[in-house]
Amino acid sequence: MFKSLNLGVAAIALAMSGAVSAGPLGIGSTATAEMIAGWDIDIRPDGTGLPEGQGSVADGEGLYEAKCASCHGLFGEGAGRWPVLAGGEGTLDTLHPEKTVGSYWPYASTLWDYIHRAMPYPAPQSLTDDEVYAISAYVLYLNDIVDEDFVATKESFAQVKMPNEPNFYIDNRPDVQNTRCMEDCADPSEFTIVATVNGVTPTGHFKEDSGVAANHYGGDEPKAAAVEVALSDAATAGQAVYDKACQACHNMGIAGAPKVGDAGAWVDRIATGMESLHSNAINGYQGPNGVMPAKGGNMSLSDDEVKNAVAYMVESSR
């Protein structure tokens, strides 16, 4: 309460000084160094951000019992259905992993940050820095990570190694390294979403017989033109199979699947002949655009059902 009141007063003072025109809640005004410091409370894995101060396991015991044990249990075992804070070692790769500070959390700094920021649950940010050090030390002690004579300080806390740290690593998938492309962007006001996914887009969005789909803003959007082709018997039978087992990828071109109804995507494929299309659909294959799973992953389909679905796809894509 006290903190947000301060922010409000600072914002009003700024607005009245005439330096900037601030909207409600001071939006539009420049944040002062003091305001930023109020939000800048994160502690990094290497301990950056930890304040001066100290607290021992012994100091933490009494504080924990008074302020935390009612929910988290005297030994961190969790009272009732409140979160468990200690134990669970060796359970992470079992059917019932118990993720606690000791068994799961990779960095001790997170404990300091979390307790300081969010606990005790009914009164977040009510603890002094020394109290946070002491209680954090005690929670680490409950997890057998520090000894009973441990005194947490900025320096000693940053040295604590958590048992599960080696199982966390920086996301190394290639797409996280891409440089951001912010050039030649299309005008967002020109974007219209026209695609719909069978069985996913609620049909209630379409006004009956109007040829348009109502959008969320009460306006109208063009509805994809209905495909007016006379289907063979095989294709007619295949439509239901397609809707059930194939449309998830082929309706939208998901995962590199040629989109049904897009003649350009199908012309070369149709040219390879129905036999080849049947065999690829039934047995699956790795193509240049992606993986087509055998029978679309639905092995309960008969070969004939898959062939019918292919007939439907081909005939709707001419």
Look up residue 117 and give its amino acid. Answer: R
Minimum gap (Å) between residue 160 Cβ and ligand HEC = 14
Omega cis (within 30) before 24: no
- Residues in binding contact with ligand HEC, number by CB under 6 A: 49
Minimum gap (Å) between residue 272 Cβ and ligand HEC = 6
Q: Is residue 264 a contact point for ligand HEC (CB under 6 A)? A: no
Only segment of 10-18, 181-189, 222-230, 243-251 that touches ligand HEC (CB under 6 A): 243-251
Q: Is residue 55 a contact point for ligand HEC (CB under 6 A)? A: no
Q: Is residue 85 a contact point for ligand HEC (CB under 6 A)? A: yes
User: Which one, 71 or 212, has the nearer CB to ligand HEC?
Assistant: 71
Look up residue 173 and give its amino acid. Answer: R
C-alpha triplet 263, 289, 183: angle, nearest 5°: 90
Is-contact 291 284, C-beta < 8 A?
Answer: yes
Is-contact 116 129, C-beta < 8 A?
Answer: yes
Is-contact 164 106, C-beta < 8 A?
Answer: yes
User: Which one, 229 or 291, has the nearer CB to ligand HEC?
Assistant: 291
Only segment of 8-16, 36-44, 112-120, 168-176 that touches ligand HEC (CB under 6 A): 112-120
Q: Is residue 259 a contact point for ligand HEC (CB under 6 A)? A: no
Only segment of 3-11, 159-167, 210-218, 306-314 that touches ligand HEC (CB under 6 A): 306-314
Place of tokens 């109020």: 38
Is-contact 97 88, C-beta < 8 A?
Answer: yes
- Nearest position to ligand HEC, beta carbon: 287
Q: Is residue 128 a contact point for ligand HEC (CB under 6 A)? A: no
Residues whose CB is less than 8 angstroms from the CB of residue 211 and which lie 6 or more positions away in sequence, other chains included: 222, 223
Q: Which two tokens stand for residue 272?
A: 């390879």
Rounded to a whole number of angstroms, the CA Rg of the chain reads: 30
Q: How far apart are CA 284 and CA 292, in angstroms?
A: 5
Residues lying near ligand HEC in the complex (CB under 6 A): 67-68, 70-72, 82-83, 85, 100-101, 111, 114-115, 119-122, 135, 139, 245-246, 248-250, 255-258, 269, 272, 276-277, 280-281, 287-293, 295-298, 306, 309-310, 313
